[in-house]
Amino acid sequence: MYYPKKFYVGDIVETKKEHPCGSKQWEVIRVGADFKIKCIGCSRIVMLPRPKFEKSVKKTIKSAAPEENNIENS
Ligand SMILES: [Zn+2]
């Protein structure tokens, strides 16, 4: 079963394969049909189509999702 996962600008994700610099963590700097991600280790920016991005991501380290379901009314 497949469901589309949401990604946001500012997310930190971990990829399955590590970058030649040794880092596996990337910051999402653009979302859409094409994604742009920046390597945390060496600041290199890579652009890739969404399906390829989704395949290469192992997990989200830190989500920049808006916390709209978590509003406090105290
Ligand atoms: Zn790198």
Q: How many Å apart are CA 9 and CA 20, to the nearest integer?
A: 23
Q: Report the separation in Å between the CA atom of 40 and the middle of ligand 1, taken as the mean of its atom positions.
A: 6
All structural domains of the chain with their residue ranges: 12-62
pLDDT of residue 25: 98
Tell me the per-residue pLDDT of 17-68, one tens digit each, with 9 for 90 and over.
999 999 999 999 999 999 999 999 999 999 999 999 999 999 999 999 887 6
pTM above 0.85, yes or no: no
Tell how far the Cα of 22 is from the centroid of ligand 1, in angstroms: 6
C-alpha 3 – ligand 1 centre gap (Å): 29
Q: What is the DSSP string of 1-47?
A: ---PPP--TT-EEEESSPPTTS--EEEEEE-SSEEEEEETTT--EEE
In 10 A of CB 39, how many CB atoms? 20
pLDDT at residue 71 greater than cutoff 60: no
Tokens of 37: 């991600």
**How far apart are the CA of 25 and the centre of ligand 1, in A?**
8
For residue 46, report the distance from its CA to the centre of ligand 1, in Å: 10
